[in-house]
Structure 1
Amino acid sequence: MNLTNGAEAVVRVEEGVLIKERVPKNYRLKDLDERIRKERTKAEARLISEARRAGVPTPIIYDIENSTIKMQYIDGIALKHVIDEKLSEQIGILVAELHSAGIVHGDLTTSNLILFNDKIYMIDFGLSFFEGSIEARGVDVHVLFRTFESTHRGHEKLIEAFCRGYRKEFGQADEVLERVKEIEKRGRYA
Protein backbone atom coordinates (compact mmCIF):
# COMPACT_ATOMS: atom_id res chain seq x y z
CA MET A 1 0.00 0.00 0.00
CA ASN A 2 1.47 3.38 -1.05
CA LEU A 3 0.99 6.08 1.57
CA THR A 4 2.54 9.05 -0.16
CA ASN A 5 4.73 10.13 -3.02
CA GLY A 6 6.67 13.24 -2.09
CA ALA A 7 9.36 15.26 -3.78
CA GLU A 8 12.07 13.38 -1.88
CA ALA A 9 10.65 9.93 -1.19
CA VAL A 10 8.05 7.27 -1.80
CA VAL A 11 6.49 5.86 1.37
CA ARG A 12 4.69 2.53 1.40
CA VAL A 13 3.66 -0.18 3.84
CA GLU A 14 4.52 -3.82 3.23
CA GLU A 15 3.54 -6.51 5.74
CA GLY A 16 3.17 -3.96 8.53
CA VAL A 17 6.54 -2.31 7.87
CA LEU A 18 6.81 1.26 6.63
CA ILE A 19 9.34 1.64 3.83
CA LYS A 20 10.63 5.10 2.95
CA GLU A 21 12.70 5.17 -0.21
CA ARG A 22 14.39 8.33 -1.43
CA VAL A 23 13.82 8.69 -5.16
CA PRO A 24 16.62 9.38 -7.65
CA LYS A 25 16.94 12.91 -9.00
CA ASN A 26 17.69 12.81 -12.71
CA TYR A 27 19.05 16.36 -12.71
CA ARG A 28 22.01 15.29 -10.54
CA LEU A 29 25.00 13.26 -11.61
CA LYS A 30 24.25 9.63 -10.80
CA ASP A 31 27.15 9.08 -8.36
CA LEU A 32 26.45 12.36 -6.57
CA ASP A 33 22.74 11.58 -6.38
CA GLU A 34 23.37 8.16 -4.86
CA ARG A 35 25.74 9.61 -2.29
CA ILE A 36 23.32 12.40 -1.31
CA ARG A 37 20.38 10.00 -0.98
CA LYS A 38 22.42 7.54 1.13
CA GLU A 39 23.73 10.31 3.40
CA ARG A 40 20.27 11.83 3.90
CA THR A 41 18.80 8.40 4.62
CA LYS A 42 21.45 7.63 7.24
CA ALA A 43 21.06 11.08 8.80
CA GLU A 44 17.28 10.74 9.02
CA ALA A 45 17.53 7.30 10.65
CA ARG A 46 20.10 8.62 13.13
CA LEU A 47 17.89 11.60 14.03
CA ILE A 48 14.85 9.35 14.53
CA SER A 49 16.88 7.11 16.83
CA GLU A 50 18.35 10.05 18.78
CA ALA A 51 14.90 11.58 19.23
CA ARG A 52 13.63 8.25 20.55
CA ARG A 53 16.57 8.06 22.99
CA ALA A 54 15.62 11.56 24.19
CA GLY A 55 12.14 10.32 25.11
CA VAL A 56 10.23 11.36 21.98
CA PRO A 57 8.05 8.52 20.67
CA THR A 58 9.16 7.78 17.10
CA PRO A 59 8.95 4.74 14.83
CA ILE A 60 11.49 2.02 15.57
CA ILE A 61 14.11 1.71 12.82
CA TYR A 62 14.42 -1.87 11.58
CA ASP A 63 16.88 -1.50 8.73
CA ILE A 64 18.70 1.03 6.55
CA GLU A 65 19.90 0.04 3.11
CA ASN A 66 21.25 2.50 0.56
CA SER A 67 18.44 5.07 0.20
CA THR A 68 15.76 3.10 2.04
CA ILE A 69 14.65 3.05 5.67
CA LYS A 70 12.48 0.24 6.99
CA MET A 71 10.71 1.21 10.17
CA GLN A 72 7.74 0.58 12.40
CA TYR A 73 4.43 1.60 10.86
CA ILE A 74 2.47 3.71 13.33
CA ASP A 75 -1.14 2.92 12.43
CA GLY A 76 -2.72 5.87 14.19
CA ILE A 77 -4.47 9.07 13.27
CA ALA A 78 -2.77 12.32 12.29
CA LEU A 79 -3.21 14.95 14.98
CA LYS A 80 -4.57 17.34 12.36
CA HIS A 81 -7.84 15.36 12.65
CA VAL A 82 -8.12 15.23 16.45
CA ILE A 83 -6.04 18.00 18.02
CA ASP A 84 -7.28 19.71 21.14
CA GLU A 85 -5.68 21.72 23.95
CA LYS A 86 -4.65 18.64 25.93
CA LEU A 87 -2.87 17.13 22.91
CA SER A 88 -1.29 20.47 22.07
CA GLU A 89 0.21 20.68 25.56
CA GLN A 90 1.62 17.18 25.07
CA ILE A 91 3.12 18.32 21.76
CA GLY A 92 4.82 21.15 23.66
CA ILE A 93 6.41 18.61 26.00
CA LEU A 94 7.58 16.43 23.10
CA VAL A 95 9.07 19.36 21.20
CA ALA A 96 10.83 20.46 24.41
CA GLU A 97 12.37 16.99 24.71
CA LEU A 98 13.41 17.09 21.07
CA HIS A 99 14.95 20.55 21.39
CA SER A 100 16.67 19.59 24.66
CA ALA A 101 18.39 16.81 22.71
CA GLY A 102 19.68 19.38 20.18
CA ILE A 103 17.35 18.22 17.40
CA VAL A 104 15.26 20.49 15.19
CA HIS A 105 12.46 18.66 13.38
CA GLY A 106 12.28 21.00 10.40
CA ASP A 107 8.70 20.12 9.46
CA LEU A 108 6.64 20.31 12.65
CA THR A 109 3.05 20.03 11.49
CA THR A 110 0.00 18.25 12.84
CA SER A 111 0.34 15.86 9.88
CA ASN A 112 3.72 14.70 11.21
CA LEU A 113 2.34 13.90 14.67
CA ILE A 114 0.40 10.64 14.97
CA LEU A 115 -1.86 9.60 17.85
CA PHE A 116 -1.68 5.86 18.52
CA ASN A 117 -2.71 4.09 21.73
CA ASP A 118 -3.02 7.43 23.57
CA LYS A 119 0.57 8.35 22.72
CA ILE A 120 1.77 11.00 20.26
CA TYR A 121 4.45 9.82 17.83
CA MET A 122 6.64 12.19 15.85
CA ILE A 123 7.27 11.09 12.27
CA ASP A 124 9.00 12.27 9.08
CA PHE A 125 12.43 13.46 10.11
CA GLY A 126 13.46 14.05 6.50
CA LEU A 127 14.16 17.75 7.12
CA SER A 128 15.54 17.33 10.64
CA PHE A 129 19.01 18.31 11.79
CA PHE A 130 21.13 18.70 14.90
CA GLU A 131 21.11 22.34 16.02
CA GLY A 132 21.00 24.08 19.36
CA SER A 133 20.43 27.70 18.39
CA ILE A 134 17.47 29.73 19.59
CA GLU A 135 16.83 30.78 15.97
CA ALA A 136 16.53 27.21 14.62
CA ARG A 137 14.30 26.17 17.49
CA GLY A 138 12.21 29.31 16.99
CA VAL A 139 11.71 28.53 13.32
CA ASP A 140 10.69 24.97 14.26
CA VAL A 141 8.00 26.22 16.66
CA HIS A 142 6.95 28.98 14.21
CA VAL A 143 6.20 26.34 11.56
CA LEU A 144 3.94 24.51 14.02
CA PHE A 145 2.15 27.71 15.03
CA ARG A 146 1.57 28.55 11.36
CA THR A 147 0.04 25.10 10.94
CA PHE A 148 -2.25 25.74 13.90
CA GLU A 149 -3.28 29.11 12.43
CA SER A 150 -3.89 27.87 8.91
CA THR A 151 -5.67 24.59 9.60
CA HIS A 152 -7.21 24.54 13.09
CA ARG A 153 -10.05 26.41 14.75
CA GLY A 154 -9.21 27.94 18.09
CA HIS A 155 -5.55 28.14 17.19
CA GLU A 156 -4.89 30.71 19.96
CA LYS A 157 -5.84 28.11 22.61
CA LEU A 158 -3.69 25.47 20.90
CA ILE A 159 -0.70 27.83 20.93
CA GLU A 160 -1.25 28.67 24.62
CA ALA A 161 -1.47 24.95 25.49
CA PHE A 162 1.68 24.17 23.48
CA CYS A 163 3.55 26.94 25.32
CA ARG A 164 2.48 25.53 28.71
CA GLY A 165 3.90 22.11 27.81
CA TYR A 166 7.04 23.54 26.21
CA ARG A 167 7.80 25.71 29.26
CA LYS A 168 7.36 22.75 31.62
CA GLU A 169 10.19 20.80 30.00
CA PHE A 170 12.56 23.26 28.35
CA GLY A 171 14.69 25.77 30.24
CA GLN A 172 15.14 28.03 27.19
CA ALA A 173 11.44 28.00 26.29
CA ASP A 174 10.87 31.71 26.92
CA GLU A 175 13.83 32.67 24.72
CA VAL A 176 12.58 30.43 21.92
CA LEU A 177 8.99 31.69 22.20
CA GLU A 178 10.22 35.31 22.09
CA ARG A 179 12.18 34.44 18.94
CA VAL A 180 9.00 32.96 17.43
CA LYS A 181 7.37 36.40 17.82
CA GLU A 182 10.36 38.04 16.11
CA ILE A 183 10.23 35.52 13.25
CA GLU A 184 6.52 36.18 12.81
CA LYS A 185 7.16 39.93 12.55
CA ARG A 186 9.90 39.38 9.97
CA GLY A 187 7.49 37.41 7.80
CA ARG A 188 4.83 40.07 8.07
CA TYR A 189 7.05 42.86 6.80
CA ALA A 190 9.12 40.98 4.26
Structure 2
Amino acid sequence: MKLIAQGAEAKIYEAEFEEIFGVPLLKERVIVKHRIAKRYRIREIDFKLRKERTVREAKILHRAKVFGVNCPHVYEVNLRDMKLVMEFIEGDRLKELLERIPMEERLKLCREVGRQLAKLHKAGIVHGDLTTSNMILRDGKVYLIDFGLADFDSTLEARGVDLHLLKRAMESTHYKWFERGFEAVLEGYAEIMGEEARRDIERKIEEIESRGRYRERSWIG
Protein backbone atom coordinates (compact mmCIF):
# COMPACT_ATOMS: atom_id res chain seq x y z
CA MET A 1 0.00 0.00 0.00
CA LYS A 2 1.13 3.54 -0.74
CA LEU A 3 0.25 6.37 1.63
CA ILE A 4 -1.23 9.23 -0.42
CA ALA A 5 -2.78 11.46 2.26
CA GLN A 6 -3.01 11.83 6.02
CA GLY A 7 -5.54 13.82 7.98
CA ALA A 8 -6.37 14.26 11.63
CA GLU A 9 -8.63 11.20 11.69
CA ALA A 10 -7.33 8.84 9.03
CA LYS A 11 -4.56 7.74 6.71
CA ILE A 12 -5.46 7.25 3.04
CA TYR A 13 -3.68 4.59 1.02
CA GLU A 14 -3.73 3.54 -2.60
CA ALA A 15 -3.56 -0.22 -2.96
CA GLU A 16 -4.40 -3.20 -5.15
CA PHE A 17 -7.32 -5.30 -4.06
CA GLU A 18 -7.56 -8.95 -5.04
CA GLU A 19 -10.63 -10.14 -3.19
CA ILE A 20 -13.86 -8.92 -1.67
CA PHE A 21 -15.15 -10.89 1.31
CA GLY A 22 -12.93 -13.79 0.28
CA VAL A 23 -14.02 -13.85 -3.38
CA PRO A 24 -10.97 -13.67 -5.70
CA LEU A 25 -11.02 -10.84 -8.23
CA LEU A 26 -8.75 -9.38 -10.85
CA LYS A 27 -6.37 -6.88 -9.29
CA GLU A 28 -8.05 -3.49 -8.94
CA ARG A 29 -6.78 -0.17 -7.65
CA VAL A 30 -8.59 0.84 -4.49
CA ILE A 31 -8.50 3.43 -1.75
CA VAL A 32 -8.01 2.17 1.80
CA LYS A 33 -9.07 4.57 4.52
CA HIS A 34 -7.63 3.67 7.91
CA ARG A 35 -9.01 5.49 10.92
CA ILE A 36 -6.04 5.58 13.25
CA ALA A 37 -6.15 5.20 17.03
CA LYS A 38 -5.77 8.34 19.15
CA ARG A 39 -3.55 7.76 22.15
CA TYR A 40 -4.91 10.78 24.02
CA ARG A 41 -8.40 9.22 24.12
CA ILE A 42 -9.51 6.52 26.52
CA ARG A 43 -9.06 3.27 24.61
CA GLU A 44 -12.69 2.12 24.82
CA ILE A 45 -14.02 5.54 23.78
CA ASP A 46 -11.53 5.77 20.94
CA PHE A 47 -12.55 2.34 19.63
CA LYS A 48 -16.25 3.24 19.82
CA LEU A 49 -15.77 6.56 18.00
CA ARG A 50 -13.68 5.06 15.21
CA LYS A 51 -16.15 2.20 14.77
CA GLU A 52 -19.15 4.56 14.64
CA ARG A 53 -17.48 6.84 12.09
CA THR A 54 -16.33 3.96 9.91
CA VAL A 55 -19.79 2.38 9.87
CA ARG A 56 -21.48 5.74 9.27
CA GLU A 57 -19.27 6.56 6.28
CA ALA A 58 -19.97 3.15 4.73
CA LYS A 59 -23.73 3.60 5.26
CA ILE A 60 -23.63 7.10 3.80
CA LEU A 61 -21.83 5.93 0.66
CA HIS A 62 -24.29 3.06 0.23
CA ARG A 63 -27.33 5.33 0.62
CA ALA A 64 -25.85 7.91 -1.73
CA LYS A 65 -25.42 5.20 -4.38
CA VAL A 66 -29.04 4.13 -3.95
CA PHE A 67 -30.12 7.72 -4.70
CA GLY A 68 -28.02 7.89 -7.86
CA VAL A 69 -25.07 9.90 -6.56
CA ASN A 70 -21.79 9.27 -8.38
CA CYS A 71 -19.48 8.26 -5.54
CA PRO A 72 -17.10 5.39 -4.70
CA HIS A 73 -18.37 1.86 -4.15
CA VAL A 74 -17.52 0.40 -0.75
CA TYR A 75 -15.85 -2.98 -1.22
CA GLU A 76 -15.12 -3.94 2.36
CA VAL A 77 -15.67 -2.67 5.91
CA ASN A 78 -13.05 -3.92 8.36
CA LEU A 79 -14.18 -3.11 11.91
CA ARG A 80 -11.26 -4.89 13.49
CA ASP A 81 -8.70 -2.49 12.01
CA MET A 82 -11.17 0.33 11.24
CA LYS A 83 -10.53 0.29 7.50
CA LEU A 84 -12.77 1.07 4.55
CA VAL A 85 -11.81 -0.34 1.17
CA MET A 86 -13.34 1.78 -1.58
CA GLU A 87 -13.32 2.13 -5.33
CA PHE A 88 -10.48 4.23 -6.72
CA ILE A 89 -12.04 6.98 -8.85
CA GLU A 90 -9.49 7.76 -11.53
CA GLY A 91 -10.00 10.93 -13.55
CA ASP A 92 -9.46 14.69 -13.57
CA ARG A 93 -9.90 16.65 -10.37
CA LEU A 94 -12.33 19.50 -10.99
CA LYS A 95 -10.14 21.99 -9.12
CA GLU A 96 -7.59 21.94 -11.94
CA LEU A 97 -9.86 20.87 -14.80
CA LEU A 98 -12.25 23.80 -14.43
CA GLU A 99 -9.40 26.28 -14.87
CA ARG A 100 -8.25 24.92 -18.22
CA ILE A 101 -11.50 24.44 -20.13
CA PRO A 102 -13.76 26.99 -21.91
CA MET A 103 -16.44 28.80 -19.90
CA GLU A 104 -19.30 26.95 -21.57
CA GLU A 105 -17.83 23.60 -20.47
CA ARG A 106 -17.14 24.95 -16.98
CA LEU A 107 -20.77 25.94 -16.51
CA LYS A 108 -21.96 22.60 -17.86
CA LEU A 109 -19.83 20.79 -15.23
CA CYS A 110 -21.01 23.16 -12.50
CA ARG A 111 -24.63 22.35 -13.33
CA GLU A 112 -23.78 18.65 -13.03
CA VAL A 113 -22.16 19.35 -9.65
CA GLY A 114 -25.45 20.92 -8.60
CA ARG A 115 -27.41 17.86 -9.76
CA GLN A 116 -25.12 15.49 -7.87
CA LEU A 117 -25.35 17.58 -4.71
CA ALA A 118 -29.15 17.71 -5.01
CA LYS A 119 -29.30 13.91 -5.23
CA LEU A 120 -27.13 13.72 -2.12
CA HIS A 121 -29.38 16.13 -0.24
CA LYS A 122 -32.46 14.26 -1.45
CA ALA A 123 -30.97 11.18 0.22
CA GLY A 124 -30.85 13.11 3.52
CA ILE A 125 -27.05 13.42 3.43
CA VAL A 126 -24.77 16.45 3.68
CA HIS A 127 -21.18 16.15 2.47
CA GLY A 128 -19.55 18.48 4.95
CA ASP A 129 -16.46 19.26 2.86
CA LEU A 130 -17.66 20.42 -0.55
CA THR A 131 -14.79 21.74 -2.64
CA THR A 132 -13.81 21.13 -6.24
CA SER A 133 -10.83 19.21 -4.83
CA ASN A 134 -13.32 16.54 -3.74
CA MET A 135 -14.87 16.16 -7.19
CA ILE A 136 -13.52 14.07 -10.06
CA LEU A 137 -14.58 13.85 -13.69
CA ARG A 138 -14.48 10.26 -14.92
CA ASP A 139 -15.91 9.15 -18.26
CA GLY A 140 -17.95 12.34 -18.52
CA LYS A 141 -19.47 11.96 -15.04
CA VAL A 142 -18.81 14.09 -11.96
CA TYR A 143 -18.00 11.99 -8.88
CA LEU A 144 -18.09 13.21 -5.28
CA ILE A 145 -15.35 11.78 -3.05
CA ASP A 146 -14.04 12.09 0.52
CA PHE A 147 -17.11 11.59 2.70
CA GLY A 148 -15.21 11.65 6.00
CA LEU A 149 -17.17 14.66 7.28
CA ALA A 150 -20.51 13.63 5.75
CA ASP A 151 -23.56 13.04 7.92
CA PHE A 152 -27.22 12.10 7.77
CA ASP A 153 -29.01 15.45 8.03
CA SER A 154 -31.96 16.60 5.93
CA THR A 155 -32.50 19.98 7.59
CA LEU A 156 -32.47 23.17 5.51
CA GLU A 157 -29.77 24.55 7.81
CA ALA A 158 -27.39 21.66 7.11
CA ARG A 159 -28.05 21.77 3.37
CA GLY A 160 -27.52 25.52 3.37
CA VAL A 161 -24.20 25.15 5.16
CA ASP A 162 -23.15 22.53 2.59
CA LEU A 163 -23.81 24.90 -0.31
CA HIS A 164 -22.35 27.86 1.57
CA LEU A 165 -19.09 25.93 2.00
CA LEU A 166 -19.04 25.12 -1.70
CA LYS A 167 -19.66 28.78 -2.59
CA ARG A 168 -16.79 29.93 -0.39
CA ALA A 169 -14.48 27.23 -1.78
CA MET A 170 -15.33 28.26 -5.36
CA GLU A 171 -14.81 31.92 -4.53
CA SER A 172 -11.36 31.10 -3.17
CA THR A 173 -10.24 28.70 -5.91
CA HIS A 174 -12.12 29.95 -8.97
CA TYR A 175 -12.46 33.63 -8.02
CA LYS A 176 -12.39 34.96 -11.60
CA TRP A 177 -15.66 33.28 -12.56
CA PHE A 178 -17.12 31.75 -9.38
CA GLU A 179 -20.35 33.82 -9.47
CA ARG A 180 -21.37 32.37 -12.83
CA GLY A 181 -20.17 28.96 -11.73
CA PHE A 182 -22.14 28.95 -8.48
CA GLU A 183 -25.23 30.19 -10.33
CA ALA A 184 -24.85 27.14 -12.61
CA VAL A 185 -24.56 24.91 -9.53
CA LEU A 186 -27.88 26.28 -8.27
CA GLU A 187 -29.47 25.74 -11.68
CA GLY A 188 -28.46 22.07 -11.60
CA TYR A 189 -29.62 21.80 -7.99
CA ALA A 190 -33.07 23.13 -8.97
CA GLU A 191 -33.39 20.57 -11.76
CA ILE A 192 -33.52 17.84 -9.11
CA MET A 193 -34.93 19.61 -6.05
CA GLY A 194 -37.25 22.10 -7.74
CA GLU A 195 -37.34 25.89 -7.94
CA GLU A 196 -38.97 26.31 -4.53
CA ALA A 197 -36.15 24.33 -2.90
CA ARG A 198 -33.66 26.52 -4.74
CA ARG A 199 -35.27 29.69 -3.42
CA ASP A 200 -35.27 28.26 0.12
CA ILE A 201 -31.61 27.28 -0.08
CA GLU A 202 -30.58 30.66 -1.50
CA ARG A 203 -32.34 32.43 1.38
CA LYS A 204 -30.61 30.12 3.84
CA ILE A 205 -27.20 30.80 2.27
CA GLU A 206 -27.83 34.56 2.55
CA GLU A 207 -28.80 34.10 6.21
CA ILE A 208 -25.63 32.09 6.93
CA GLU A 209 -23.52 34.73 5.19
CA SER A 210 -25.18 37.53 7.16
CA ARG A 211 -24.35 35.74 10.42
CA GLY A 212 -20.72 35.63 9.39
CA ARG A 213 -20.67 39.33 8.53
CA TYR A 214 -22.31 40.15 11.89
CA ARG A 215 -19.71 38.16 13.82
CA GLU A 216 -16.92 39.84 11.83
CA ARG A 217 -18.30 43.33 12.55
CA SER A 218 -18.75 42.49 16.24
CA TRP A 219 -15.17 41.27 16.50
CA ILE A 220 -13.82 44.38 14.77
CA GLY A 221 -15.92 46.61 17.02
What's the TM-score, normalizing by structure 2? 0.84
Is 1:70 aligned to 2:85, yes or no?
A: yes
Is 1:155 aligned to 2:156, yes or no?
A: no
Long gaps (5+) in structure 1: none
Is 1:2 aligned to 2:3, yes or no?
A: yes
In the alignment, residue 166 of structure 1 is paired with which amino acid?
Y
Alignment partners' CA distance in 1, 2:35 and 2:145: 16
Residue equivalent to 2:154: 132
4+ residue segments displaced more than 3 Å: none
Secondary structure at 2:133 match in 1: coil
Secondary structure at 2:132 match in 1: coil
Residue 165 (structure 2) aligned to one of 130, 133, 143: 143
Is 1:19 aligned to 2:41, yes or no?
A: no
Shift of 1:173: 2.1
Structure 1 vs Structure 2 CA RMSD: 0.9
Alignment partners' CA distance in 1, 2:91 and 2:37: 29
Shift of 1:7: 0.8
| Count of aligned pairs between the two proteins | 190
Superposed CA deviations along residues 20-54 of structure 1, whole A, max 9, x for unmatched, are 00111111011110111011000001001101110
Is 1:169 aligned to 2:169, yes or no?
A: no
Secondary structure at 1:3 match in 2: strand
Shift of 1:10: 0.5
In the alignment, residue 53 of structure 2 is paired with which amino acid?
R
In the alignment, residue 67 of structure 2 is paired with which amino acid?
A
Superposed CA deviations along residues 128-161 of structure 1, whole A, max 9, x for unmatched, are 1111111110000000000000111301111111
Alignment of 1:21-36 (within 5 A): 21-36=34-49
Alignment partners' CA distance in 1, 2:94 and 2:207: 27
Alignment of 1:54-133 (within 5 A): 54-66=67-79, 67-83=82-98, 84-133=106-155
Secondary structure at 1:136 match in 2: helix
Secondary structure at 1:28 match in 2: coil
Alignment partners' CA distance in 2, 1:79 and 1:86: 12
What's the TM-score, normalizing by structure 1? 0.97
Residue 38 (structure 1) aligned to one of 17, 37, 51: 51
Residue equivalent to 2:24: none
The sequence identity of aligned pairs, in percent, is 44
Alignment partners' CA distance in 2, 1:88 and 1:111: 13
Long gaps (5+) in structure 2: 17-28, 99-105, 216-221
Residue equivalent to 2:207: 182
Shift of 1:105: 0.8
